Chains A and B, each alone.
Chain A
Amino acid sequence: MLSEIFISALLVIGGVFGLVGSYGLVKLRDAMQRLHAPTKATTVGIGGILCASIAIAWLERGVASTHELLITLFLFVTAPVTANFIAKAYMHRNIEAASLPQTETSCGWAGYAPPPGENEPPSGDKSN
């Protein structure tokens, strides 16, 4: 009984954060702001549901299951990379270098300025 309440609570928490993340996609105004919403859904939203899955296996069926930790890990590795790609694609199309803060180093930002030792501006989208 107690374990059912605990598992349900985890599922509801995960669902609520997933919903808030999706609502953020609708509400926020530009692509950079919208990027913040899915990083939320993949962390606490998915995390809550995976914790529920571990709890069901452990409390209801008596098996120790750690599969879910791997899902979390793969999400944590891939989500920032995806977010970074989307941010870069958006910046190349819509954001001028002048509207960004200074780097405070001798070079500009990688997507806009050449790497140290090269004077030619990078052709196309050769960033990083």
Chain B
Amino acid sequence: MLNRILPHPYLTLLLTIFWLQLVNKVTLGNVLLGFALAVIIPAMTEPYWPDRPRVRRPFRAISYVGLVLWDIVLANIEVAKIVLFKPAADIRSQWVSVPLDLKSPEAIAVLAGTITLTPGTVSAMLAADGGAILVHCLHTDNPDAVRDEIKTRYEARLKEIFE
């Protein structure tokens, strides 16, 4: 019974929190309205998104967000140094092909977003069968190191969360 009303409890929780943040005021009425919306919206959108992934380990997802935020700050400083102090002719940009072990489209989308948000790398294209992702790297002398970092730091964690 509970499963039928709440097929995706984390999605419902997330939408309720979103609603409370949008109104920016926590009152009983807002919580109830937010919760009602968070039950109705997933039910209504179910036909458009049939195989919704289930997040296996929500706490790892939270620690993943923390890790990515920290990396964004560090990488920003790194790229700011390149932009400010490196002569344009010395910036060696490279394409890096990263083979993917992830299968779920949602997990690949999160990985692609992570790669783009950490400055210095932009995800550009997937292989036609989804088996690799093409990454543009602003400045690197060692494309293999970039590939290994993406694989061990982000992909391995996403695999634990989604699969």
Contacts and interface: CB of A to CB of B under 8 A. Distances in A.
| Chain A complexes with chain B | yes
Interface of A: 17, 20, 23-24, 27-29, 32-33, 35-37, 39-40, 43-44, 47, 65-67, 69-70, 76-77, 79-81, 83-84, 87-88, 91, 99-111, 113-116, 127-128
Given A28-B91, A40-B80, A105 B117 contact: no
B93 interface: yes
Shortest 8 CB-CB contacts between residues of A and residues of B: A105-B131, A107-B128, A80-B116, A80-B113, A103-B127, A101-B97, A24-B83, A87-B124
B53 to A, nearest CB: 16
B101 to A, nearest CB: 12
Interface of B: 18, 21-22, 24, 72-73, 76, 79-80, 83-84, 88, 91, 93, 95-97, 99, 112-113, 115-117, 119-120, 122-129, 131-132, 134, 136, 138
Contacts of A17: 76, 80
A110 B115 CA distance: 18
27 contacts: A17-B76, A23-B84, A27-B83, A29-B91, A36-B79, A37-B83, A39-B116, A43-B76, A43-B119, A44-B72, A47-B72, A67-B22, A80-B112, A80-B115, A81-B113, A84-B112, A84-B116, A87-B123, A91-B125, A101-B95, A101-B134, A108-B127, A109-B125, A109-B127, A114-B128, A115-B129, A128-B126
